Amino acid sequence: MITITAIITVTPGAEALAEAELLKVAAHVRANEPETVDFFISRSRDNPCRFTTYERFTDVAAMDRHNGSEAVAVFFAAVSPHFDGPVILETCTELSAK
């Protein structure tokens, strides 16, 4: 299993936009990406401008399809002007799951 953790911080005032656009990606994943096993979105309790996604893929090809999807491109087009610093991405091989 391949995983991605992404930490996305947006400028104050862009929280609702980021949340809405992330939820659109999640809806796309549910409807169109059976090989994306999980797609979680969280918002920091300490900083409402910081979001984290945790994504699980059956393999690298599934990850690449997700990352190359129109839904991801639309998210970045809408939200990237409001990023407060770089998106932090950590791509991993899963070692354990509940």
Query: Taking residues 68-92, what's their average pLDDT?
Result: 98
Query: Tell me: the pLDDT tens digits for 74-83?
Result: 999 999 999 9
Alpha-carbon distance of 65 to 12, in angstroms, equals 31
Alpha-carbon distance of 41 to 59, in angstroms, equals 20
pLDDT of residue 29: 98
Q: pTM for the complete prediction?
A: 0.94
Average pLDDT, the chain: 97
pLDDT at 25 over 90: yes
Identify the DSSP state of 68: T
CB under 8 Å to 22, separation ≥6 — which residues? 8, 41, 51, 53, 75
Query: Taking residues 60-81, what's their average pLDDT?
Result: 97
Set out the domains of the chain in order of their start, with CATH numbers: 2-93 (3.30.70.100)
Helix (H, G, I), strand (E, B) or coil at 12: coil
Alpha-carbon distance of 17 to 11, in angstroms, equals 11
Alpha-carbon distance of 16 to 69, in angstroms, equals 22
pLDDT of residue 98: 86
